[in-house]
Amino acid sequence: MSIIDLTSMGEPQKDIKNQINNRLKKLQDEVSEFCYQCAKCTSGCEAHKLLELEPHKIVALLKRGLIDEMLNSDVIWTCMSCFKCRERCPQKVAPVEILFALKNIAVASGKPIPGKYSAMLQSILSNGLIQDVQTISDRNNQAIKRDKLNLPDLSKPVDTNKFQLVLSKLAIEKI
Amino acid sequence: MKKYVFYPGCVMPTEQYAYELSIREIMPILDIELIDVKDFSCCGEPMKSVNQLMTIYLSARNISIAEKEGYDIFVPCPMCHLSLSECQNILENNHEINKKINEMLSSENLCYNKPINIVNTVDLIHDIVGLDKIKKLVKNPLNKLKAATHYGCHLIRPSEIGRPVDSENPQKMENIIKAIGAEPHDYSEKLDCCGAMINTNLPESALTKTGQKLVAVQNYGFDVFVDVCPWCHRMFDSKQKKAGETVAAKLDMPVVYLTQLLGLSFGIDRNKLGLNLNLSPVDKIKFGGK
Ligand code: SF4
Ligand code: SF4
C-alpha cells in the first residue's frame, strides 16, 4: 500500500467529496457563525508571532466560503497546534480545529502533503510508529541505540497485517 | 505499590531514551509499578493534520489494549496524553463515531468499552505520589538551583477536555521542583510553544521558536530548564545547538527531564538517568548551592 492510496482521492469517489462538503458545511454553519472577529485567537497565536497565520481571518474566510483559497495556501500548514486559540476563544470557535479540518481536506483532495508527514505516515503503516528505533549520539559522540540501554523491547503492533488492513480502510472513510 | 500500564508512544522509545530511562529508574522508588504491554502503536496525534479519523482510531486502539490489562494508563508524552484523552472524550460523547471506531477495532480483536484514567508524569508525581513522599526521598537537595519549567502545549490545553495542569498558570512542576529543594521561578515566556509541530514541514521556523525561548530563559539567568515532553525536549536539548545557530545566539542552557532532576535529587547515578544522552551542557548543574 502506498501513501497515494491512503491520501489521494480519485475523481470517481463521489462519496468522499460529499463527505468533505458536509464537513465543510458543518464547520461553516455551526462554527464560524459564532465568531465575532474579536481576534483574541490571533493575539496569542504562536504561529502569528513568527509566520503569517491569523486564525481569526481563517474563520472569516471560512464564513465567506473562500475554502479553495485556503486549501491552496501554505498558511494552513503553519499552525503549531498550541491550542491557545481553542483555549481562549470567548465563543468556543477553536480555529485550530478548523485548520486541522482544512489540512485533512487538502490532503483528501490530493494536494501535496508537506514536509515529513508522508514519511511518518509510511512508517506508521509499516511498523505502527512514526519512526523506527534511532541511533543517537551521547554528549561524547558515542553512538547509542535502544538495545544497548537495557530497555524492554519496543511496543508495536503484533499482527501487522490486520493493523495495515484497518488503516487502509481508514483511507477510504477518512472524513 | 500502584500499578499502571506503561504507554511509551513513538518518540520516547525510539529516540528520547533519557526520558524512558529516568522514568524506569524513579518509578519503583515512588512505589509505582509500570506494566509493559505489547502491541501499542502511535497515538495518532502526529497524523491529525493528515487524517483525523486515523488519529482517533489509533488512540482508541491503544486505550483498548490498556483496558484489557485492567489498570489505568501512564502516558509520559503530553502529545499522546492529549490524543488519548480527547479520543476518550469523543468516544464517550459521540455515539456515531464510537460505533464506527468499535467496528474497525473489532477487526483487530479489540473493543473500547469504558473510559480509563489517563495519567501523565506531572500529575502522577504531584497528585498520586504526592509532594510529602517526594520530600522524604530527597538525598541531594538541589539547593539554590534556579529552574525554569516548560510543560508543553499539549499538557496544558485545551482545558475543556480535561488536562492535568492549569491552562494559564500551571504550577505543579514548580511544586515538585520546590519539594526537591530547587527554586522554580515564573517567567513571561513560560507558556510559549517549542515549535516542534512545524519541525515536520518548516524546520527553520520551528528552530527559531525554540531558540527564542531558550535565549529568554538564558538571559533571565536560570541554571536549568526542565521539561516533560519528548517532542519539546528534542527541540530544547537535542537541537539546542542548531536552535542557537538559527537565532544567532550562543546557547548554553542545561535542559533536563523532570524525571532526571528528581532522580538526581534521589541520589541516582547520572548515567542510569540517561544524563549522558542530554546534548545540552547538563554537567553545569550543581548540587547544594554554587
Ligand atoms: S477568538 Fe474566537 S470569536 Fe474571537 S476572532 Fe478568534 S475565533 Fe472569532
Ligand atoms: S493552535 Fe495554531 S492557530 Fe491556534 S493559536 Fe496555536 S498556532 Fe495559532
Shared domain for A100 and A47, answered yes or no, is yes
Q: What domain range includes position A135?
A: 115-174
Bridge partners of B74? Answer: B6, B119
Phi, then psi, of A144 in degrees rounded to 5: -130, 135
Q: In whole angstroms, what is the distance from residue B139 CA to residue A128 CA?
A: 41
* Domain end among A108, A130, A153: A108
Shared domain for A119 and A102, answered yes or no, is no
Residue A12: predicted pLDDT: 40
Contact A124 B154 (CB under 8 A): no
Q: In whole angstroms, what is the distance from residue B29 CA to residue B1 CA?
A: 10
Residue A110: predicted pLDDT: 87
Q: In whole angstroms, what is the distance from residue B245 CA to residue B243 CA?
A: 5
A7 is a domain residue: no
Closest by Cβ to B38, choosing from A86, A94, A158? A158
Q: In whole angstroms, what is the distance from residue A47 CA to residue B157 CA?
A: 16
Q: In whole angstroms, what is the distance from residue B165 CA to residue B177 CA?
A: 15
Residue A32: predicted pLDDT: 73
Shared domain for A83 and A128, answered yes or no, is no
For the CA of B206, the nearest ligand: 2
- A84: closest CA among A55, A104, A57? A55
A1 is a domain residue: no
The H-assigned helical ranges of B107-171 are 121-123, 131-137, 153-156
C-alpha count within 13 angstroms, C-beta hemisphere, residue B239: 24
How many residues belong to chain B? Answer: 290
A22 is a domain residue: yes
Shared domain for A89 and A146, answered yes or no, is no
Residue A20: predicted pLDDT: 67
Q: pLDDT-derived band of residue A6, with 50, 70 and 90 as boundaries? A: very low
- Model-level pTM? 0.94
Does the pLDDT value for residue A28 go beyond 90? Answer: no
Bridge partners of B34? Answer: B4
Q: Which residues, 6+ apart, have CB-to-CB distance to B110 below 8 Å?
A: B61, B64, B65, B68
Q: pLDDT-derived band of residue A27, with 50, 70 and 90 as boundaries? A: confident
Q: pLDDT-derived band of residue A64, with 50, 70 and 90 as boundaries? A: confident
Greater confidence, A19 or B98? Answer: B98
DSSP A128: S
Greater confidence, A30 or B155? Answer: B155
Does the pLDDT value for residue B290 go beyond 70? Answer: no
Q: How do residues A100-135 score in pLDDT, each as one tens digit?
A: 999 999 998 889 999 999 999 999 999 999 999 999
Residue A168: predicted pLDDT: 85
Q: What is the dihedral of CA B167, A48, A70, B46, to 10 degrees?
A: -50
Q: In whole angstroms, what is the distance from residue B270 CA to residue B248 CA?
A: 31
Shared domain for A16 and A70, answered yes or no, is yes
Residue A22: predicted pLDDT: 74
Q: In whole angstroms, what is the distance from residue B255 CA to residue B215 CA?
A: 13
Shared domain for A103 and A123, answered yes or no, is no
Q: In whole angstroms, what is the distance from residue B262 CA to residue B147 CA?
A: 13
Q: How do residues B95-135 score in pLDDT, each as one tens digit?
A: 999 999 999 999 999 999 999 999 999 999 999 999 999 99
Q: Which residues, 6+ apart, have CB-to-CB distance to B163 below 8 Å?
A: B82, B85, B155, B156, B157
By DSSP bridging, strand B118-119 and strand B224-227 are: unpaired
A161 is a domain residue: yes
Shared domain for A28 and A101, answered yes or no, is yes
Does the pLDDT value for residue B289 go beyond 50? Answer: no
Q: How do residues B181-220 score in pLDDT, each as one tens digit?
A: 999 999 999 999 999 999 999 999 999 999 999 999 999 9
Residue A7: predicted pLDDT: 44
| B234 three-state secondary structure | helix
Bridge partners of B118? Answer: B73
Q: Considering only A26-40, B4-18, B91-105, B190-204, which range has the smallest mean pLDDT?
A: A26-40
Residue A173: predicted pLDDT: 55
- Closest ligand 1 atom, CA of A42? 6
Shared domain for A23 and A66, answered yes or no, is yes
A3 is a domain residue: no
Q: How far is CA A113 from the centre of its chain?
A: 10
Contact B277 A139 (CB under 8 A): yes
Q: pLDDT-derived band of residue B287, with 50, 70 and 90 as boundaries? A: low
CB contact B53 to A (< 8 Å) = yes
* Domain end among A83, A108, A133: A108
The H-assigned helical ranges of chain B are 11-14, 17-29, 52-69, 78-93, 95-106, 121-123, 131-137, 153-156, 172-179, 203-219, 230-233, 240-246, 258-265
Shared domain for A28 and A84, answered yes or no, is yes
Does the pLDDT value for residue A5 go beyond 90? Answer: no
- Closest ligand 1 atom, CA of A55? 6
| A148 three-state secondary structure | helix
Residue B87: predicted pLDDT: 97
Average confidence (pLDDT) over B158-163: 95
Overall domain count for chain A: 2
- B12: closest CA among A142, A81, A110, A134? A134
B192 to each of A81, A148, B24, B166, how far by Cα in Å? 12, 35, 29, 15
Does the pLDDT value for residue A10 go beyond 50? Answer: no
Residue A19: predicted pLDDT: 66
Q: What is the mean pLDDT of chain B?
A: 96
Nearest chain B residue to A79 by CA: give it.
B198
Shared domain for A17 and A101, answered yes or no, is yes
CB contact B198 to A (< 8 Å) = yes
Contact between residue B53 and residue A170 where contact means Cβ atoms under 8 Å apart: yes
Average confidence (pLDDT) over B84-100: 95
Return the residue matching grid coordinates 499552525: A79
Shared domain for A121 and A43, answered yes or no, is no
Q: Which residues, 6+ apart, have CB-to-CB distance to B90 below 8 Å?
A: B56, B97, B98
Does the pLDDT value for residue A14 go beyond 90? Answer: no
Contact between residue B200 and residue B47 where contact means Cβ atoms under 8 Å apart: no
Q: Considering only A6-10, A46-50, B70-74, B83-87, which range has the smallest mean pLDDT?
A: A6-10
Return the residue matching grid coordinates 461553516: A28
- Closest ligand 2 atom, CA of A84? 5
> Atom 8 (ligand 1): residue with closest C-alpha?
A35
Average confidence (pLDDT) over B91-96: 94
Contacts of B208 in chain A (CB under 8 A): 50
Contact A155 B11 (CB under 8 A): no
Residue A145: predicted pLDDT: 93
A87 is a domain residue: yes
* Domain end among A69, A89, A108: A108
Q: pLDDT-derived band of residue A11, with 50, 70 and 90 as boundaries? A: very low
Count of Cβ atoms closer than 10 Å to residue B193 Cβ: 28
> Atom 8 (ligand 2): residue with closest C-alpha?
A45
Does the pLDDT value for residue B89 go beyond 80? Answer: yes
**Domains annotated on chain B, with CATH:** 2-119 (1.20.1050.140), 126-284 (3.40.50.11810)
Q: In whole angstroms, what is the distance from residue B38 CA to residue B210 CA?
A: 34
Percent of the residues in chain B that have a pLDDT greater than 90, as a whole number: 97
A6 is a domain residue: no
Shared domain for A18 and A95, answered yes or no, is yes
Q: In whole angstroms, what is the distance from residue A132 CA to residue A126 CA?
A: 10
Average confidence (pLDDT) over B229-236: 98
Does the pLDDT value for residue A174 go beyond 50? Answer: no
Residue A9: predicted pLDDT: 40
A5 is a domain residue: no
Ligand 2 site, CB within 6 A:
A 41, 45-47, 53, 55, 79-85, 95-96, 99
